Amino acid sequence: MPVSASAIYFLNLRGDVLINRLYRDDVGNANVACGFKFVVEAVALFKSYFGGAFDEDAIRNNFVLIYELLDEIMDFGYPQNLSPEILKLYITQEGVRFAIFIKGVQLYMMLGVICREAHSFALPSDKPVPNATLQVTGAVGWRREGLFYKKNEVFLDIVESVNLLMSSKGSVLRCDVTGKILMKCFLSGMPDLKLGLNDKIGLEKESQIKSRPMKSGKTIELDDVTFHQCVNLTRFNSEKTVSFVPPDGEFELMKYRITEGVNLPFRVLPTIKELGRTRLEVNVKSSRFQFQSKLPRQAFKSHQVEQKYNAAIDCLVWKIRKFPGQTEATMSAEVELISTMAEKKPWTRPPIQMEFQHNYQSTEQAIFTQHKYSRHNGFPF
Amino acid sequence: MSGHDSKYFSTTKKGEIPELKEELNSQYKDKKKDAVKKVIAAMTVGKDVSSLFTDVVNCMQTENLELKKLVYLYLINYAKSQPDLAILAVNTFVKDSQDPNPLIRALAVRTMGCIRVDKITEYLCDPLQRCLKDDDPYVRKTAAICVAKLYDINAELVEDRGFLDTLKDLISDNNPMVVANAVAALAEIQENSTRPIFEITSHTLSKLLTALNECTEWGQVFILDALSRYKAADAREAENIVERVTPRLQHANCAVVLSAVKMILQQMELITSIDVVRNLCKKMAPPLVTLLSAEPEIQYVALRNINLIVQKRPTILAHEIKVFFCKYNDPIYVKMEKLEIMIKLASDRNVDQVLLEFKEYATEVDVDFVRKAVRAIGRCAIKLERAAERCISVLLELIKIKVNYVVQEAIIVIKDIFRRYPNTYESIIATLCESLDTLDEPEAKASMIWIIGEYAERIDNADELLESFLESFPEEPAMVQLQLLTATVKLFLKKPTEGPQQMIQVVLNNATVETDNPDLRDRAYIYWRLLSTDPEAAKDVVLAEKPVISDDSNSLDPSLLDELLANIATLSSVYHKPPETFVSRAKSTSTRQDDEEYADAVETGYSESPSYTVENPAVTSTSSSTVRQTGSAAPASSSAPTSPPAPVQDLLGDLIGLDNAIVPVDQPTASYGPALPVLLPSSTGQGLQISAQLVRRDGQVFYSLLLENSSQMVLDGFMIQFNKNTFGLAAAGPLQIPTLQPATSTRTLLPMVLFQNLSPGPPNSLLQVAVKNNQQPVWYFNDKIPLHIFFSEDGRMERTSFLETWKALPDSNEVAKDLLVAVIHSIDTTIEHLATANVFFVAKRKNANKDILYMSAKGPRGIPLLIELTAAVGVPGVKCAVKTPSPELAPLFFDAMENLLK
């Protein structure tokens, strides 16, 4: 049975129920994958309504709106349309907005952000659109009709997270990349977009790969790709082009994974020595970035100036503004730990986290070979 | 205007309700709306605002959509408690269902379906009929789900009004969301119905597969889940289906991916071409791996499912073991599951890498994780013979770092490795002995002692080592005591010198006289007698070669595995248990008999708190035995609880209308049914007589037991165990029998579960039972499993589907037998009698002087049994023919019928 939930509860950290909505009683052997995914999407929806925040205050301040949304996004335990774009057409109460609250999201090692452009996007008008219901249920359940922009623009961001494990001697033990392509669309009408990938995706038949002339080493193998629901999967399977009618505004077009052929732009060699109970010597030799190293809880003070200890996240933060190629930088720090009465806990050896920006070139070089944009019936371009 | 709703929560003054009442009746719209918001806020924090029902309902007729929604929300919550007043809302509902605005039409139908009040349900039918044929797809999709809601409240009504046919028509709707919801509704109705309602033909299949492309992500899940029940006719069709489902693997929604995987795995069973299968395996691997970059909860669900998938098709992820390596910031529940999968995927090719990982994990800080990692190394050693030596050297390195719990865990697994590879790695015993005095956990101690005993002849100072443990013998946990006892005996048999002889005296004395643990005492006496009668025989017994253990990492039974794989993405696949073991609500509640209070209580208890029900028969039997021996001294049982147990707390009681069931305590024994056959006569059982029989009550199988104590002893500590059997019957909980005084008896109903411990081979009805208590030896006896206890309440078949099923089965599936002792005295009483055993009448005809009856039943795992009985009324001898997809059950079936018709 695809039913995924019998009720939804909003709890705070203490476990008090803030709001609940009961849809039905027993659901038996429910589809849990569907249930968890629904919850994740629902939270994204609420955040989109409340302008980013989703905490106890936001919930209390918007309880009427939440009830209204809960009624719409799930019926008798079956998830319905959760697309914010469409719901905003007819559930028009505006959420109470707060300044965007950024949680310390911990990516594993490096985060490359490429050609990022800030751009705020307009909220749809507050007037309900008369044919809202047709759009909720339409084949393109994520885009409303009648959009018009004077300037038609598309932005593509590629965000990659590289997960790397090195031995103490500096050889790479494990390395993989998970990337996502974020798209921001401001296009009129019902555009049909096509995106061609310069790759040899592992899903192709091997014969096809062999028959294709080898390019000059610029191709890279994507282990797997997954697409936003707007992408026509059957067509991708047969023609290998990503074709889609995009939602308006920002969305995650696709995700991919790479394990082979990842070139690392940096090399980091940390040495950490525990000097007795309360001292820690940290030496890091590296190459171009901002970088954080997690320290034991008790750490409170570091001697050098070029790097800072950030107490809020328990980290030693080292910022490097520019890092030209073929160069090296070294940081050394000594950390004094508060001596505690209790026995010293073993250090968990957390990973070093790096964040960097890198313009115009992705580590994976999945450069787009084509970017077609065709329009449907007569909207001015 | 809107927003900052939190202010509505803050009215906690006295006289709140009258104040709200006044505001609700205000003539100003804004004030009214605010008041309704306050009411909803009060409802949210759990205050009872049901007294405002009339006033809130009066606000219902409004143009303001927001206000209307709030009132509807209020109605959903309180209509149940005010059924008479709820009728006030009906007019507005019906009016709203014809509103020009499709949003309001849909809202009205959706809300009416959520109000589970009979009176309202009647009025729901007409609007629902209209909405199912509405021009607007939004209304139709809402109405489709509403049919499922109505079916849940009143199934007959849905069938009478022909909603099912309308719903089936919606499968061909031109709007994909309507199609998806109709499929979801039909699939759910089918699940709760005994009749075939939603049959997937190849035509619907192809239509729905086409619809997949246009559906929302959730719609795709509904459709894929519904289609996964479809059985393709041949390999070609299966390949065709798979080809059309494979693109779904690229979907960003994990539920779509898992449902697609489920469907592909199902169809793969039929595909014969090795190339196609290999290709599919290759295609499924990357999407499964990608699931591991989702949110941790989703990762967990994915990992539990992957665990099943790699058991069935190890090749899919054979090359992907690296992705299961634990990350620093994985939550612990994800790490544990990853470890489990790493063990499953470990092979001679990757074992070096895996061992490096395990070794790394074994030095982390989370104790549970570290232990599991150490155990994983041991399991690899047992699984991969060629890697065993490397595993052992890793374990030895870990022992050298001298972290206490690592050492202990390592010793436990090394013991298993010794059992797997006897006489191979004993050279490391010396290293193990070094850490002897750090052991403080029972399991590690017991393992070490076992090793010392087993290899006593190779350890020079074995006697000294054991002696050091013996000092604290009385304080040790039972597990350690048992091992000490055995190890000392082994030592003595291997080195019959003076030292060990003294030790054995001490141990045997301790274990027979000083202890009150029966297991220990039994074992000690056996050794004692063996040693005193025939030391050579003792040697043969105690030092006999032990069977080599094997790898337990592929532990699921193949049939269970298949069942779980058919349930990918659901709770069942996460629990690794078949759905019927945790989905408690019986499918057909309509057959429930009102006068059977006991059975009612069992069912309610099951759906709300299983542990409570298990106690229930015990409480009953305690009180009955107390009653019977009034006057006699009964210290144990008189202290047993005789007051009625606290009522079951029913959290959803208000909503789903279950009354809190109080279990009747002094249930007359008559309710347990007729006399039970004696299986263990008191002459064999040293005064204990056991009569028992398997019975079916309210859709659940029980073992009905009567224990009579005619011995001079007080018997207690009863336990029961069932051997492997054809249907995997096993006790669902411990046997709850209190102390049994001399000359008393007790009855109990032990709930049973199916498919736990399946024995291989052709089906047979043998059930081997062992019962033990603290005073007597273990009693073994045999019982028969009558097949009809599995016949489920939903086995009734319509005449047409009976004919179809009959035709669909090949003639080779028909088996017939003459039941000589059976007799039909009257057609009607026989039909009635068989119906109580869930054998249902379908049709009859006359042929010469004989009557032919056609009947249906549904056996274990839902196997249909189509039955033809031919007999002359009043004349002994009935010809019984049965046609079923599982003809191997026929002999058992004939036995059952003979019993029923006697």
**Alpha-carbon gap: B284 to the closest alpha carbon of chain A (Å):** 10
Instruction: Give residue-wise pLDDT tens across range A246-275.
Output: 888 888 888 888 877 666 666 777 777 777
Domain boundaries, chain A: 7-90, 110-114+129-263+361-374, 269-357
B647 found inside a domain: no
User: What pLDDT, on the 0 to 100 scale, is given for residue B164?
Assistant: 93
Lowest mean pLDDT segment, chosen from A212-216, B120-124, B783-787: A212-216
Residues B754, B799, single domain; the answer is: no
pLDDT over threshold 50, residue B603: no
Better-scored residue on pLDDT, B127 or A218: B127
- Closest-CA residue of B relative to A252 is B252
Tokens 């719903």: give the residue: B167
What CA–CA distances, in Å, run from B551 to B424, B466, B545? 18, 30, 19
Domain boundary among B785, B804, B831: B785
User: What pLDDT, on the 0 to 100 scale, is given for residue B735?
Assistant: 82
Give CB contacts under 8 A, 24+ apart, made by B257-260: B257/A226, B257/B287, B257/B288, B257/B290, B257/B291, B258/A33, B258/B291, B258/B301, B258/B302, B258/B305, B258/B568, B258/B569, B259/A2, B259/A31, B259/A33, B259/B220, B259/B221, B259/B224, B259/B225, B259/B228, B259/B568, B259/B569, B260/B224
As a CATH number, domain A110-114+129-263+361-374 is: 2.60.40.1170
**Alpha-carbon gap: A326 to the closest alpha carbon of chain B (Å):** 30
Residues B760, B797, single domain; the answer is: no
Domain ranges, residue B797:
793-900
**Residue B670 contacts A, CB cutoff 8 Å:** no
Domain boundary among B757, B785, B813: B785
B140 found inside a domain: yes
Residues B692, B772, single domain; the answer is: yes
The total domain count for chain B is 4
**Residue B177 contacts A, CB cutoff 8 Å:** yes
Residues B739, B841, single domain; the answer is: no
**Alpha-carbon gap: B813 to the closest alpha carbon of chain A (Å):** 31
- Beta-ladder partners of A374: A192
As a whole number, mean pLDDT of residues A327-344 equals 68
Question: Do B298 and A80 lie within an 8 Å CB cutoff?
Answer: no
**Alpha-carbon gap: B476 to the closest alpha carbon of chain A (Å):** 29
- Closest-CA residue of A relative to B42 is A19
Would you place residue B834 in the very low, low, confident or very high pLDDT band (cuts 50, 70, 90)?
Answer: confident
| A110 phi and psi angles, rounded to 5 deg | -135, 150
Residues B728, B872, single domain; the answer is: no
B478 found inside a domain: yes
Q: How far apart are CA B92 and CA B262, in angstroms?
A: 45
pLDDT over threshold 90, residue B260: yes
Better-scored residue on pLDDT, B901 or B179: B179
User: What pLDDT, on the 0 to 100 scale, is given for residue B184?
Assistant: 93
pLDDT over threshold 80, residue B41: yes
B645 found inside a domain: no
Instruction: Give residue-wise pLDDT tens across range A125-149.
Output: 334 445 666 666 666 667 777 788 8
**Alpha-carbon gap: A171 to the closest alpha carbon of chain B (Å):** 15
**Which ipTM was obtained for this model?**
0.72
User: What pLDDT, on the 0 to 100 scale, is given for residue A92?
Assistant: 72
Given A78, A224, A236, which is nearest B145 (Cβ)?
A: A78
B584 found inside a domain: no
B852 found inside a domain: yes
What's the CATH number where B825 sits?
A: 3.30.310.10
Cα–Cα nearest to A354, from A289, A300, A273: A289
Better-scored residue on pLDDT, A304 or B674: B674
User: What pLDDT, on the 0 to 100 scale, is given for residue A309?
Assistant: 65
Residues B619, B717, single domain; the answer is: yes
Cβ contacts below 8 Å, chain A against chain B, sum to 239
pLDDT over threshold 80, residue A208: no
Instruction: Give residue-wise pLDDT tens across range B205-252.
Output: 999 998 888 888 999 999 999 998 888 888 999 999 999 999 999 999
Q: Are the C-beta atoms of residues A307 and A317 closer than 8 Å to each other?
A: yes
In the sheet with A172-186, reading across from the earlier edge strand, the strands are: A224-227, A249-258, A172-186, A153-166, A110-114, A352-357, A290-294, A315-319, A307-310
User: What pLDDT, on the 0 to 100 scale, is given for residue B656?
Assistant: 38
Chain A residues with CB-CB distance to B320 below 8 A: none
Residues B145, B88, single domain; the answer is: yes
Instruction: Give residue-wise pLDDT tens across range B121-143.
Output: 888 999 999 999 999 999 999 99
Residues B768, B623, single domain; the answer is: yes
Residues B513, B485, single domain; the answer is: yes
Chain B residues with CB-CB distance to A31 below 8 A: 221, 225, 255, 259, 569-570
Question: Do B136 and A133 lie within an 8 Å CB cutoff?
Answer: yes
Chain B residues with CB-CB distance to A313 below 8 A: none
**Alpha-carbon gap: A91 to the closest alpha carbon of chain B (Å):** 9
Given A141, A233, A257, which is nearest B247 (Cβ)?
A: A233
Question: Do B290 and A132 lie within an 8 Å CB cutoff?
Answer: no
Lowest mean pLDDT segment, chosen from A52-61, A308-317, B722-731: A308-317
Chain B residues with CB-CB distance to A25 below 8 A: 652, 655-656
pLDDT over threshold 50, residue A212: no
Q: Are the C-beta atoms of residues B254 and B294 closer than 8 Å to each other?
A: yes
Instruction: Give residue-wise pLDDT tens across range B353-377.
Output: 999 999 989 988 889 999 999 999 9
Given B9, B258, B579, which is nearest A29 (Cβ)?
A: B579
Lowest mean pLDDT segment, chosen from A251-265, B281-295, B432-446: A251-265
User: What pLDDT, on the 0 to 100 scale, is given for residue A345?
Assistant: 58
Chain A residues with CB-CB distance to B141 below 8 A: 80, 137
Q: Which of A9, A137, A240 to mutate to test the interface with B (most CBs of B within 10 A)?
A: A137
pLDDT over threshold 70, residue B426: yes
Would you place residue B615 in the very low, low, confident or very high pLDDT band (cuts 50, 70, 90)?
Answer: very low
Any idea how long chain B is?
A: 902
Q: How far apart are CA B321 and CA B340, in angstroms?
A: 11
Q: How far apart are CA B772 and CA B781, in angstroms?
A: 11
CB count within 10 Å of CB A123 equals 10
Q: Are the C-beta atoms of residues B189 and B151 closer than 8 Å to each other?
A: yes
Q: Which of B38, B146, B217 to mutate to test the interface with A (most CBs of A within 10 A)?
A: B217
Residues B193, B59, single domain; the answer is: yes
Given A63, A64, A203, which is nearest B283 (Cβ)?
A: A203
Better-scored residue on pLDDT, B684 or B521: B521
Residues B724, B684, single domain; the answer is: yes
Let me know if the fold of A110-114+129-263+361-374 is the same as that of A269-357.
yes
Residues B774, B824, single domain; the answer is: no
**Residue B175 contacts A, CB cutoff 8 Å:** yes
Instruction: Give residue-wise pLDDT tens across range B677-728.
Output: 888 888 888 888 888 888 888 788 888 888 888 888 888 888 888 888 888 8
User: What pLDDT, on the 0 to 100 scale, is given for residue A100?
Assistant: 30
Given A26, A31, A80, which is nearest B569 (Cβ)?
A: A31
Would you place residue B632 in the very low, low, confident or very high pLDDT band (cuts 50, 70, 90)?
Answer: very low
Domain topology for A269-357: Immunoglobulin-like (2.60.40)
Given B254, B322, B585, which is nearest A33 (Cβ)?
A: B254
Question: Do B290 and A224 lie within an 8 Å CB cutoff?
Answer: yes
Chain A residues with CB-CB distance to B35 below 8 A: none
User: What pLDDT, on the 0 to 100 scale, is given for residue B790?
Assistant: 85
Domain boundary among B230, B260, B276: B230
What's the CATH number where B40 sits?
A: 1.25.10.10
Element (H, E) at A224: strand A224-227
As a CATH number, domain A7-90 is: 3.30.450.60
B837 found inside a domain: yes
Three-state secondary structure string covering B690-738: EEEEEEEECCEEEEEEEEEECCCCCECCCEEEECCECCCCEECCCCCCC
Q: Are the C-beta atoms of residues B584 and B607 closer than 8 Å to each other?
A: yes
- Closest-CA residue of A relative to B141 is A137
Instruction: Give residue-wise pLDDT tens across range B587-601.
Output: 444 433 333 434 343
Tokens (6 digits) for B750: 């032990």
User: What pLDDT, on the 0 to 100 scale, is given for residue B655?
Assistant: 38
Better-scored residue on pLDDT, B574 or A99: B574
Given B6, B103, B146, which is nearest A133 (Cβ)?
A: B103
pLDDT over threshold 80, residue B334: yes
